[in-house]
Amino acid sequence: MVNEPRGDAAVALARARALIEESREVVIVLDEARKVVAASRRARGSIPGLRVGEPLPEGATRDRTPLEVGYRAGGREEALVYLSEPSENAAFEELRAGFTAAVSHELRTPLARLLALLELAALPDADTQQLVEQARDEVTYVGELIDDVLFLSELETGRQVVALGTTAVAPVLRDVAERLERSADRAGVRIEVAGEETAAVPVRSRMLRVVVENLAANAIRYAGHGATLRLSVSSSDDAVILEAADDGAGVEEADLPRLFERFYRADRARASRGTGLGLAIVKHVVGSAGGSVEAESGAGRGLRIRCSFPVR
């Protein structure tokens, strides 16, 4: 009879088995003789002929990129082998390269403006105070961009738990509307709040506030002077709908499919001070909570963004 580990050792063993078994990667454990000790469910499903106690099937690493991590356990040499599909690596590298290029481009513009302002400040008879204020605005913008990039990165790597608890929507709508009142007044945008007091969504309070703030800021920035933004919440048997609708300038229908892309801004919005990440963050938070986001608009017909959350 094999002696079973006890206490902490048993817990550690069970944990290790679960980590390997439930991994979404193709993970295989090999012993000193290069025979399979354990394999993840995905590995067993994607490699024909893979069996514990036998060597890796011929061709198992064909069209896959292996990453091997050696370690010592109980006096024996073993190895964790990760096999990833080339298509997965290519897609990830393409996404990373595109994101890096976009961030670099977005940072280059305000930094160039900042340098120009500093050079102007050194000229005789320059309005130094005004130029310093403009330079401060550029620094603030760069800080906001970096904050948004880091926040979105945390969301995408799972470091921010979105659906942890339930939050009533109406109080958050009122609070955000009150705190953004001054910036809305400067932009000539009026904010209205309406909806069911009891409607709640399966999202942490902080994350819901991020969603509402980004929706409101988008309207304040782009709707145009004289527009009205209506933040509302309603519910049905299977969904809670958070909606931000304005009667402002709207968005061309050709731009709607790309509205939630990172750094994407329609032609009219390119002169704006926005980072181009607000609606991407909205989509990611709502999607992480099991919901969906859609937008309706047309030039001169305002913009309506509907966030649909599941009822739990």
Which DSSP string corresponds to 236-271? Answer: -SSEEEEEEEE-SS---GGGGGGTTSTT---GGGTT
- The model's pLDDT over 273-297, given as tens digits with 9 standing for 90+, comes to 555 678 888 888 888 888 999 999 8
Residues 126 and 196 in one domain: no
The CATH number that applies at residue 288 is 3.30.565.10
- The model's pLDDT over 222-250, given as tens digits with 9 standing for 90+, comes to 899 999 999 999 998 889 999 999 999 88
Radius of gyration of the chain (CA): 26
Domain-located, residue 161: no
Task: Answer whether residue 145 shows pLDDT above 50.
Answer: yes
Average pLDDT over residues 124-148: 80
Joined together, the tokens standing for residue 57 give: 């099937």
- Which range among 14-23, 227-236, 259-268, 284-293 has the greatest average pLDDT? 227-236
Q: Which of 67, 84, 101 is the last residue of a domain?
A: 84
Note the pLDDT of residue 155.
Answer: 65
Residues 182 and 297 in one domain: yes
Note the pLDDT of residue 271.
Answer: 45
Classify the C-alpha dihedral 47-52-57-61 as positive or negative: positive
Q: pLDDT: is 178 or 22 the higher one?
A: 178
Average pLDDT over residues 108-136: 83
Average pLDDT over residues 156-178: 80
Q: Which of 25, 59, 84 is the last residue of a domain?
A: 84
The CATH number that applies at residue 78 is 3.30.450.20
Task: Answer whether residue 101 shows pLDDT above 50.
Answer: yes
Residues 68 and 97 in one domain: no
Q: pLDDT: is 89 or 239 the higher one?
A: 239
Domain that holds residue 189: 167-310
Residues 290 and 276 in one domain: yes
Residues 297 and 183 in one domain: yes
The CATH number that applies at residue 95 is 1.10.287.130
* Predicted confidence band of residue 2 (pLDDT cuts 50, 70, 90): very low
Residues 188 and 254 in one domain: yes
Average pLDDT over residues 132-159: 71
* Predicted confidence band of residue 309 (pLDDT cuts 50, 70, 90): very high
Task: Answer whether residue 90 shows pLDDT above 60.
Answer: no
Angle at 248 between CA 308 and CA 106, to 5 degrees: 75
Domain count for the chain, please give it.
Answer: 3
Task: Answer whether residue 303 shows pLDDT above 90.
Answer: yes
SS3 27: strand
Q: pLDDT: is 113 or 52 the higher one?
A: 52
* Prediction pTM value: 0.55
Whole-number mean pLDDT of the chain? 80
Residues 20 and 63 in one domain: yes
Note the pLDDT of residue 18.
Answer: 77
Task: Answer whether residue 215 shows pLDDT above 70.
Answer: yes
How many residues in total does the chain contain?
A: 312
Residues 301 and 208 in one domain: yes
